[in-house]
Structure 1
Amino acid sequence: MSVQVEHLVRYAPGSTRRLLNDVSLDVPAGAFVTLVGPSGAGKTTLLRAIAGLDTFDQGTLLLDGQAMGSMRDRARKIGFVFQNYALFPHMTVAKNIAFGLDVLPRSERPSRSAITARVQDLLDLMQIPEAGASYPGRLSGGQRQRVALARALATGPKLLLLDEPFGALDPIVRRSIRTWLKGLHERLGLTTILVTHDQDEAVEIADRIVVMQHGQIVQDATPEELNRNPQTTFVMEFLGEAPSFNGVVREGLVVPDEAGVLPFPAPETVSPGPVTAILRPYEIQVRRGDESPEAVSLVAEGARNGYRHYRAHLAERFVPLWTPDHTQNDVELQGAALLDISRARLFRDGQRCG
């Protein structure tokens, strides 16, 4: 199922403040899209508008090219998983999963045996085949999340909307279930839109990442493109640790303001003037600086996630620096150094310029 959002506007109740400010988004059938951004960016507001749970004041919303119909029609087409799972504690797991089928009009409701078979199929799909007779309170967080997904899928929707579904899970379970979810998405041929605050989660499972800020979409791209070509400082800094260096472009060079940071060639398209250079800690290179009065010292901080972590002591701050753990330059990095930041992206007034 495809989703087309065109120039959507939603105002805060009783206010002229826009929760959604002229949002347009095209999600083709079968795509896996994540919405990321800080709290208040409009992610959940957009997701709820797509689900039909909230109204909007201006714009158009189409599913498979058609305007959204009644709430009952939408319920058959869309599965929604809430952050807190919203399971009924007084119902068994099987009853929770069957709920969407049980409340259908009699003319559309499957037989009791068909519902029972559907519930068991979903329990098997969720890899919790024996959980049907249990109550939600007796399950782990990961199991409850799977029950919530099963309930959302019971009516056979083609669009799955997920609002921070893994927020309450511990990191190990979270990594496991999001990998499983990606496989489920592909197996069932779903269109999936996920709201998350976890940038690593978004990068790992999404075909596209939609970055939102102040009720607007500021960039919509593949994970690779976002990392390679962020369009604003906000996108660059939101998607991961990103040391920044102020400087100026003159005579074809980017000259950083701080001692201990080497100048580097500026792209020909960047005009002279102030810039901010931003890059990831693993993109900073080290040059020996024993003979330079501007050299900085480096302090080792251990190894994590395949990188050795260091702190570079500049005049007024520390800068994180990571090197691959398999390299042999650990001893060299203990001495004085000059920082090469030539892999940085350049920004001016918050916008990408090189």
Structure 2
Amino acid sequence: MKRVRLAVIGTGMAWDRLHLPAIQELGDKYEIVAMANLHQDKLWEAADKIGLSHEHTYVDYHEMLKRKDIDAVNVVVPISMNYKISRDVVNAGKNLICEKPLAPNMEEAIDFVKLQKERKVKIMIGENFRYNEENIMIKKLIEEKKIGDVLYFMKNNIFNFEECMTGDSFAAKEWRQHPDFQGGMILDAGVHDIAELRYIFGDMSHVAAFGNPIGHEYAPFININCNLMFKSGVVGYYVYCSKGHEAQKPSLGLRIFGTEGMIYLEDTSCSVVNVFYNDGRHEMLTYIPSRGYYNEFANFYEAMVNNQKIKVTPLVEFGDTKLIFALLESAKDKRVVTIDDSETFITDHK
């Protein structure tokens, strides 16, 4: 079986804890042939972990991109660098997997989508929530009308970012505590929730959001409370809060109410999707948590080798990113924002 020869730009925490385990599990499908990082100590540490010779490591990723033995490049860098580095990868003629969100602002997000149209390479944006087993399961339940027609939903994501700002955690990263991109943690983490909801319910038509100013660099609002309307007619409520605690168990999580029942997911790691029916029946559907990274790399491999369709293209992720900026705009101006079709939006902003 053909193995995809993969190069990596960015060998920090996200690579080590999220991407590398998936790649190692798919060891018969991927071979890591080169790595790049601005910090040589981190670069060599990552190379040593997988037994990659230091002669295949690069402080300047531009030099790495000159190699002819690279089939694809995995970009795992801070958000502000996503588009700029991805542009260099694509212009070098390499296939690409880039972490979410695809860009730190709308201008670069638009340019990223145009990159895909201009270059004949395969591009995936690594939005793992669109590949998580629980969301695939819930989407199928909705499509099969297991709970009838959807009436509304509630989605609650609450945590305390400041408690996680020290130690060996993602929140301890300087670029997250002092982001140089709009939205801070609402873009960085909230985009997962928006991707999940758009994956399950489809495109949105209108959003109305309100937020409490936070007074810290890591996010413009303590919490952002959002009313969402989808083109399908589904309406729901979404809250993202970065300075609180969910003390009561089970937590609110994601609850979807239909004419014939209800779907409940406590959180992404709980391993169970609960389905309650109006006639008294109850199903507990189990799943394996955190399989999104494995599933996305499996999808990319099949796209490379067997021309399978990539689930999360730049245009798909553009829609998720655009929604976050729409929510921020709505909260700032305290008004309803209409969501334009993504392709129309891009065409109108040439």
Structure with higher RCO (Cα < 8 A, 6+ apart):
2
Relative to its length, the structure with more helix (as a share) is 2
Larger Rg: 1 or 2?
1
Q: TM-score normalized by structure 1?
A: 0.28
Q: TM-score normalized by structure 2?
A: 0.29
Relative to its length, the structure with more strand (as a share) is 1
